[in-house]
Amino acid sequence: MRASPFTIGIIQDHATDDEAANVARAVSLIREAAARGAQIVCLKELFNTPYFAKSTKVEHFDLAQPVPGPITDTMQALAKELAIVIIVPIFVRRAAGLYMNSAVVIDADGEILGVYDKMHIPHDPMFEEKYYFTPGDAHLDYHGEKGGAANGFKVWKTRYANVGVLVCWDQWYPEAARITALLGADVLFYPTAIGWHPAEKDTWGQAQVEAWRTAQRAHAIANGVYVASPNRVGFEPEPGTNGLEFFGHSFIADPFGRVVTEAGTDEAVLVHTCDPKLQEEVRRNWPFLRDRRVDAYQPILNRYIGASGLGTRDSGLGTR
């Protein structure tokens, strides 16, 4: 059991078309988090740009960064200076015509430990991510790496804790949380860009926020891990549309699913000290990992079972 508590921080802020200003703001807020004791700090999804996937424009591919590259150089120097781990979610150019929505994990000595590539890619009005992002590769390479691209779900042993990273749309999938927890994560970070269509806000806005938070709290409970979700805030226009309003409400939940700190819709830096003893206590009393029936889960590898899974005398997939 990891004996020492560790302190995490998440950054909730906005973004404009001025990338240099976005990076400078993030650096300032990371410094604030570190000054408040954060040892591991996570930024929002695509932190250095507006959420450009509101439309399909080929010129947006020019926003992608190599790894290593200018953004990671800046964050590596900052991590080393402050002796903190920084999770840096950016648009990554892997090769010509191959682009990923990724998060770079930088250890407290400034070394790049690896890159997580978003596995689940949404496609909704004004969330046109399938146009831009190749999903991460689901290779059975579960042991982390130093430098280079991640394959599938990963956990990194940083100076302060074992860190799992999943990105935005990944947060709706219990399989992603479970696998990352089984890999040994002490905390799951979910850098996010989620918001309201203005025309839907009055009818669905509060329910959407509650669903988003509830799904991730459930991951904390079911897996006995800390969960930390930094979202972006602010209205981002898009010609010919009503734009998107990113709703913030970033939060950190403990392994019991309790929200221990949360933000509203303004810029915020959230910091919380995580106690591994609590994780141990929760898992001892709710031993969900112990009681898993791994011999019975083969059907989950099907995209849909449907009527074939209804109870029949001979199917073995249900009861009469």
For the sheet with 85-95, list strands across it.
112-117, 98-106, 85-95, 40-42, 6-12, 268-274
Positive/negative CA dihedral, 281, 284, 286, 292:
positive
Residues with catalytic function: 45, 118, 168
Are the beta carbons of 45 and 90 closer than 8 angstroms? no
The one-letter amino acid at 304: Y
Positive/negative CA dihedral, 311, 313, 319, 320:
positive
Are the beta carbons of 250 and 195 closer than 8 angstroms? no
First to last CA, the chain: 45
Alpha-carbon span 215 to 310, nearest angstrom: 27
Are the beta carbons of 89 and 167 closer than 8 angstroms? yes
Say which residues have a Cβ less than 8 Å from residue 276's Cβ, sequence separation at least 6: 1, 2, 3, 4, 5, 6, 186
Alpha-carbon span 222 to 256, nearest angstrom: 9
3-class state of residue 227 by DSSP: strand
User: Among the residues of 129-286, which ranges form H helices?
Assistant: 129-132, 174-182, 201-223, 276-285
Are the beta carbons of 171 and 215 closer than 8 angstroms? yes
Are the beta carbons of 15 and 24 closer than 8 angstroms? no
Q: Which two tokens stand for residue 163?
A: 């860190």
Cα of 234 vs its chain's centroid, Å: 19
